[in-house]
Amino acid sequence: MDANSQGAAELLATLMRTAARFSEMGRSVSRDFFPHVRVEPVSDLAGPAVRLGAALALPGHDLVFETAVAVGEETFSVRGGLVLDGEEEILVLPSVETGDAVACAALLDRYADELTTPARWHVQRLLESCETDW
């Protein structure tokens, strides 16, 4: 297998792993905060771009955790973020371009980690703020 094929295989495996990580994070948070949190996967493939993440619905709020990878002619672009209620960007991970599929995969892994690790904390904080409104 040549270097390009190896890089493409690694990127594909990372995309699948990223989808699984967001899915597990969503299920875990939803289970821990049942019945106050519902989860839906974010999984879109549009031409040369893919979005992966999880959308969490809480009382009065929506949290969307997502990463995106776009493929250009000779580059890959990775970005990520956490958005509250479709408007407030709580966390914005910068868009980074690279010509190396292996570097793209490593960045995607890092972005997934930066988004999934604090998920429970964000949900807890929002639910506590909602309790005062109940």
The gap between the terminal CA atoms of the chain, to the nearest Å, is: 59
pLDDT at 1: 64
pLDDT at 134: 44
Distance CA 42, CA 19 (A): 8
Count CA atoms within 13 Å of residue 67 on its CB side: 29
pLDDT at 6: 81
Average pLDDT over residues 31-58: 94
pLDDT at 3: 67
Percent over 90 (pLDDT), the chain: 80
Mean confidence (pLDDT) of the chain: 92
pLDDT at 4 over 90: no
**For the chain, domain boundaries:** 3-131
pLDDT at 72 over 70: yes
Name the pTM for this structure.
0.90
> Is the pLDDT higher at 111 or at 47?
111
Backbone torsions φ then ψ of 57, nearest 5 degrees? -105, 120
